[in-house]
Structure 1
Amino acid sequence: MPAPDGRPVPGPPVPRPPAAVLFDRDGTLVHDVPYNGDPAKVDPVATARPALERLRRAGIPTGVVSNQSGVARGLLTPADVAAVNARLDELVGPIGVWAWCPHGEADGCACRKPAPGLVLDAARRLGVDPAACAVVGDIAADLGAARAAGARGVLVPTPTTRAEEVAAAGLVAGDLLEALDLLDVP
């Protein structure tokens, strides 16, 4: 229907899948084990492997954007983080880019979610525009990082996700496959 002045009114945007999907690690791709530095404790959520396989079939690159404040706290080493990441790669298939922040909350860095640094870094390394990415996570900081980078965010709540985080999220999915449905991933 035209506008009152006769000009055409644009319709809703045509849904498109994202150029890349970036996942939070702990609580999103794997069951959260606080400050996990033990690869033997890596336990992917049930929909992690199927979701990543779906993205690979669709030709959509993937990445992980993860706060790892255990490094700043002296509870983990960078080698511990790398070992856990490598184990997840073994269990769910290769993830395109790993971007993680070793800082604590008080460090004031630009990478720790909800700051956009991890999302911007992962998008750059994947060769895509951050605004064409989606970030899937389980807490408000994940969605805040997406918003700050101009990306779309999808919340996949866990039992520890606060009710106010769910209420404030624009897109909420029951699991990772439903998140991909909301993002129009074929």
Structure 2
Amino acid sequence: MYQDSPAKPGERLVVLDRDGVINADSDAYIKSPAEWVALPGSLEAIARLNRAGFRIVVFTNQSGIARGLFDEAMLSAMHEKLARELAAQGGKLSGIYVCPHGPKDNCHCRKPRTGLLEQISEDFACTLEGVPIIGDSRRDLEAAEAVGGRPILVRTGKGLRTLKDGGAPPKEVYADLAEAAGRLVFEMESQS
């Protein structure tokens, strides 16, 4: 978990899930930098949001650590790859918040619980009310709703499965992060 600097008044925040939103997901878990592969257009979408004045923060469940599939050093190596590839597109993340626990650990940080989002709110000294929170799973949307955020589903990763799971349909659904980012930038420019 890191955060680069405190938020400044008027700065806009967007919170993203990682696997299935930024990079390809796998039911076998993403366990190494070699397995971490950015989805087409996702890094460019983050850079576009940055250029429009948004700070981007990632919140992610990484139970592969609790399951012994990889360790925190390997997770750091994956995030270093993400940062390098994102920098090559002219973008950057302002923070990455990780739950390393397994489903049976009963922690407060594992989505759909709100611990990671509460930590983001505290670290960035802002409310998450109305903040776009983009994910590909029901638990991402539930966590967003619980803090008053703006839940946005993408169809990448587990997104299509989430749409078919029979739960309440999300209000906002986009093909991918690039389409969602385009909408957010359009809204911001329309308000100017």
Partner of 2:75: 81
Q: SS of the counterpart of 1:168?
A: coil
Identify the residue that residue 62 of structure 2 maps to in structure 1.
68
What is the percent sequence identity of the aligned residues? Answer: 35
CA RMSD of aligned residues (A): 2.1
Equivalent-residue separation in structure 1 for 2:16 and 2:165 (angstroms): 21
Inter-CA distance 24–117: structure 2 relative to 1 (3 Å threshold): same
Q: Whole-Å Cα distance in 1 between the matches of residues 11 and 140 of structure 2?
A: 17
In structure 1, C-alpha distance between the alignment counterparts of 2:73 and 2:58, rounded to whole Å:
17
Q: Which has the larger radius of gyration?
A: 1
Q: In 1, Cα distance between the equivalents of 2:117 and 2:11? A: 14
Is residue 105 of structure 1 aligned with residue 99 of structure 2?
no
Other-structure match for 2:32: 38
Alpha-carbon deviation of 1:30? 0.2
Shift in alpha-carbon separation, 1:120–1:153, aligned structure 2, 3 A: same
Give the equivalent residue in structure 1 for 2:13: 20
Gap regions ≥5 residues in structure 1: 1-16
1:175 lines up with 2:173 in the alignment? no
How much has 1:155 moved relative to structure 2?
Answer: 0.2
In the aligned structure 2, how far is the partner of 1:123 from the partner of 1:46?
Answer: 29
Q: Is the contact between residue 22 and residue 134 of structure 1 (CA under 8 Å) also seen in structure 2?
A: yes
Rounded to whole Å, the distance in 2 between the matches of 1:71 and 1:110 is 16
CA contact (8 A) 2:25 2:157 kept: no
1:113-136 per-residue CA deviation (whole Å, 9 max, x = no partner) reads 111111221233233211142111
Q: TM-score, normalised by structure 1?
A: 0.82
- Count of residue pairs the alignment pairs up: 170
Give the match for residue 8 of structure 1. none
Q: Does 1:95 align with 2:93?
A: yes
Superposed structure 1 runs of 4+ greater than 6 Å apart:
none
Of stretches 95-104 and 132-141 in structure 1, the one that deviates more from structure 2 is 132-141
Q: Which residue of 2 aligns with 1:123?
A: 121
- Choose the corresponding residue for 1:59, options 53, 56, 63: 53
Which whole-Å CA distance do the structure 1 matches of 2:170 and 2:176 have between them? 15
TM-score w.r.t. structure 2 length? Answer: 0.80
